[in-house]
Structure 1
């Protein structure tokens, strides 16, 4: 598909109106990449047309970030200037902000950076950004993520193609996942998709499931307990003030939180994980009473170790998400090497912080109250994929009744 002005305008409108859903008089904080300038400009224009008071654009560059992590000493990397936090936090405190990220990451960009140095820097930055990140984790503001390709990413996804062809193919794949083409109305397409996700979400909530049991041919045999007042969510969400938005675009998942101490068994990842610029592959975890007690990886084991040992909560789960194998992204047979897409081609779990919205009254609870309800707390939240074509999921309700959820990788309802 040719990436012309019409397509960019469509994409920008979807991101602004269906994604972050900019309201009249709001400030849009736009975190983007130098590789996404045309889409960035289209989003800025669409945001103003939607009534934004102002758009604050923050450009990033993966190559420059690589230089920072390579050449700066650890103390410098661990220092996060207060003005950098306040430049976003001030808008959130006065209730006028929403946030959109256009990601254009280079998979494995930090593979040659010292893993211990990188891990400690990330820990310090996550701690410094904790108050800021709470606004999105608790849906206090609208937020969303979309993507644009870059040449390095495209060549890794389509290594047999020349650069121009690879970028074109990646654009096509992204737009297909975003339900955008030359002729359609993507807003209507997303309305219909959100309705489908909401119907499944409601069925799962009505089941009042106590546990989920996952098995497949890769060796996954995992049982996850769900809190009694846990909530399934998916598709669009609402802020605490009632504004509807789509946090991830694309999205195919329906998700909830595990009970922190109720995860047992072993899970094998089904796709690589790009974690802080390092590509972890062929990895697994064993859980006992919620905690990771053993793990391994054939590629980037030290990066996996830094994830598990990030903080007290990073060795517990914060999310379990169901994605049918026959979802559009999965059926494309493209390994995007980007979690935004790959997590929507596969059932996935997240190590680290749970979303407070996944428990009744959670967005109004303090950290102490959340912890008392068995909600995992952490300064990180990292998704990894474990769904397969032969995944079987059995639900167990409050009365011990077994209910089929997935057969051969797909919902049975």
Structure 2
């Protein structure tokens, strides 16, 4: 384990910068049994920040694996009423949410992807109000990570287990701007300011579409919705509270038009989806929909994702990150989207964020969909950036602007 000082700084970062817990606010920590020490520290920091009450919702990936392995599909499709009521209570009381992720990549490699799909669809339908609440920034939410031995050994296979865990902690702290000698809260204030300035540059260009090309074969034109907004770094909840959804983050992202994506895109990093590592895959789009796909590893899991619902074959987010971003420079493949998406341009299959269009946070779903918003039960990011990525942006008057050259921003 790292020093108590570093863990306390990290916990404080999650509470003060990530969720920005307010006085007398309920806090919900969604976590796993791999993260007991950090969860306890986040609980304490939440109370120190003035939380009224902290709820901890525990999960265990090994227990979940056995549920998927041995339970019937009918059982997997049952969603307990008490769980739905619990989340209604959280939402109705304006709770903020802190997720502590500790993935075990590949754990569910032996599970039938269709069983996992049916379970996920049932859960997402019953808890759709919660997803709407979070993705609509109705209250603050954030995600941080905590190593476990299995994950660490996959990231650092040449190290002994304890050394691998140590190395992964170091990599996480480095990515999250936490050191023995600094104040991470102040570091993040500067970081958010830099991301905000880049958002303004992109918003001022007001691109109609972006054209992505690289030597792997990516040749993709992504149309953006009219009145789109580039975001990245900190955001404001509808209650006016500033927070950071992802720690770490390096991205600038916006909303594609669900009907205006054409061409082919190749992944550049594995996608850890429901405990399965989907790798070396490509998608072909026509009129905004995936019409063909393939994967060298876990093609069934990719097919299951794409077949979740009507919106899961369209994209709801396009994000730009320079290849020379701090996380990319580490040359570490973290095997979890929270980190890997901040080392590479990425897009998300599924649901869009209402905040990425003017007036989106107060618009109805019907109003959003008229403007090109993609609705889905899923939002799954995958990475396609590369060191030779070229991006040309086209404005509404036809002017073409070089946005990326050799994998990096040039605007």
- The two structures have a TM-score, normalised by structure 1, of 0.98
Cα distance in 1 between the residues matched to 2:115 and 2:40: 35
Match of 2:59 in 1: 60
Cα distance in 2 between the residues matched to 1:229 and 1:371: 13
Cα distance in 2 between the residues matched to 1:85 and 1:17: 28
What is the CA-CA distance between 1:331 and the residue it aligns to? Answer: 0.5
Q: Could you tell me whether the CA contact under 8 Å between 2:226 and 2:371 is conserved in 1?
A: no
What is the CA-CA distance between 1:115 and the residue it aligns to? Answer: 1.5
Match of 1:225 in 2: 223
What is the aligned length? 411
Q: Flag as ranges the 4+ runs of structure 1 deviating above 6 A.
A: none
Match of 1:371 in 2: 369
Cα distance in 2 between the residues matched to 1:381 and 1:179: 27
Q: What does 1:102-113 correspond to in 2, within 5 Å?
A: 102-113=100-111
Q: 2:262 aligns with which of 258, 261, 264?
A: 264
Match of 1:252 in 2: 250
Cα distance in 1 between the residues matched to 2:238 and 2:367: 18
Match of 2:125 in 1: 127
* Structure 2 stretches lacking a partner, 5+ long: none
What is the CA-CA distance between 1:305 and the residue it aligns to? Answer: 0.4
1:170 matched to 2:199? The reply is: no
What is the CA-CA distance between 1:132 and the residue it aligns to? Answer: 1.0
Q: 2:385 aligns with which of 378, 384, 387?
A: 387
What is the CA-CA distance between 1:228 and the residue it aligns to? Answer: 1.2
Superposition RMSD in Å? 0.9
Cα distance in 2 between the residues matched to 1:76 and 1:269: 34
Q: What does 1:71-86 correspond to in 2, within 5 Å?
A: 71-86=70-85
Match of 1:30 in 2: 29
Cα distance in 1 between the residues matched to 2:112 and 2:20: 39
Q: Could you tell me whether the CA contact under 8 Å between 2:310 and 2:376 is conserved in 1?
A: yes
Cα distance in 2 between the residues matched to 1:9 and 1:94: 27
Match of 1:160 in 2: 158
Q: What does 1:344-359 correspond to in 2, within 5 Å?
A: 344-359=342-357
Q: Could you tell me whether the CA contact under 8 Å between 2:26 and 2:93 is conserved in 1?
A: no
Q: Could you tell me whether the CA contact under 8 Å between 1:85 and 1:132 is conserved in 2?
A: no
Match of 2:403 in 1: 405
Cα distance in 2 between the residues matched to 1:301 and 1:40: 35
Match of 1:3 in 2: 2
1:141-173 residue CA offsets vs partner (Å, 9 max, x unmatched): 100000000001001111111110110000000
Secondary structure of 1:29's counterpart equals: strand
What is the CA-CA distance between 1:223 and the residue it aligns to? Answer: 0.4
Match of 2:188 in 1: 190
Cα distance in 1 between the residues matched to 2:286 and 2:343: 27
What is the CA-CA distance between 1:85 and the residue it aligns to? Answer: 2.0
1:181 matched to 2:179? The reply is: yes
Match of 1:18 in 2: 17
What is the CA-CA distance between 1:407 and the residue it aligns to? Answer: 0.8
What is the CA-CA distance between 1:370 and the residue it aligns to? Answer: 1.4
1:77-103 residue CA offsets vs partner (Å, 9 max, x unmatched): 1111121122122132133x1000000
Match of 2:92 in 1: 93
Secondary structure of 2:256's counterpart equals: coil
Q: Could you tell me whether the CA contact under 8 Å between 1:280 and 1:304 is conserved in 2?
A: yes
Cα distance in 1 between the residues matched to 2:357 and 2:404: 23
Match of 2:233 in 1: 235
1:203-246 residue CA offsets vs partner (Å, 9 max, x unmatched): 00011110101001111000011111111100000001110000
Match of 1:282 in 2: 280
Cα distance in 1 between the residues matched to 2:70 and 2:168: 32
- The two structures have a TM-score, normalised by structure 2, of 0.99
Cα distance in 2 between the residues matched to 1:89 and 1:11: 29
With 83-92 and 384-393 compared, the bigger mean Cα shift is at: 83-92
Secondary structure of 1:260's counterpart equals: strand
What is the CA-CA distance between 1:51 and the residue it aligns to? Answer: 0.3
1:199 matched to 2:169? The reply is: no
Q: Could you tell me whether the CA contact under 8 Å between 2:33 and 2:58 is conserved in 1?
A: yes
